[in-house]
Amino acid sequence: MINMIQAIVMGLLQGITELFPISSLGHSVILPKLFGWGLDQKAPEFLNFLIATHLATAIVLFFFFLRDWIEIAKGLGRSIRDRKIAPSDTYAKLGWLLVVGTVPAGIIGLVLEKPIRNLFGSPLIAAAFLVVNGLVLFGPNACGQETAAVPRSSPPPQRLPTPKSPPCRGSAPWQSERPRQPP
């Protein structure tokens, strides 16, 4: 069972790491093992606690971005009413991207709930996923690719950016020298 101090530490960890491109769930699984808390991470109570912390974060973010959610709902409504997504309607596009990205993930989560629970309850598996995630995030930097920040009010790009150079053979995040940019 999680005590009050552990709950506060894990809640703070969840709140801090949720908005970064790292796994707050992974940290929540690894932290108890690192601190030697002896929690049964495959117990339903532990999963319920993690769900509660994620739900709390989702509620806070929902209200923080309430105006955006309202605009997204209006955009979805417009696209359904007009039976098309206007090229300039950023909120309708975003709404449909959220639907297309969320519904399949939800279905997969419902179908594979038990295997996923057992898989992600393991600190070793969570640590491995965090390392892979870190390499994926660090990879473009190691290959010298640049990314540009897109202002929130601008429409999403019409196509995915293409790399400026071929994949960096032999360049890895742990090497000391950055590969050279092609001319």
Q: How far is CA 131 from the centre of its chain?
A: 14
Task: Band the pLDDT of 168: cuts 50, 70, 90.
Answer: very low
CA distance linking residue 90 with residue 167, whole number of Å:
32
Confirm if 103 and 139 have CB atoms less than 8 A apart.
no
Q: By C-alpha distance, which of 93, 8, 110 is closest to 53? A: 8
pTM for the whole structure: 0.58
Both tokens of 105, joined, read 């993930």
CA distance linking residue 9 with residue 139, whole number of Å:
31
Q: Domain extents for the chain?
A: 4-123
Residues 42-93 pLDDT 10s: 788 888 888 899 899 889 989 999 999 999 999 999 999 999 999 999 999 9
CA distance linking residue 105 with residue 107, whole number of Å:
6
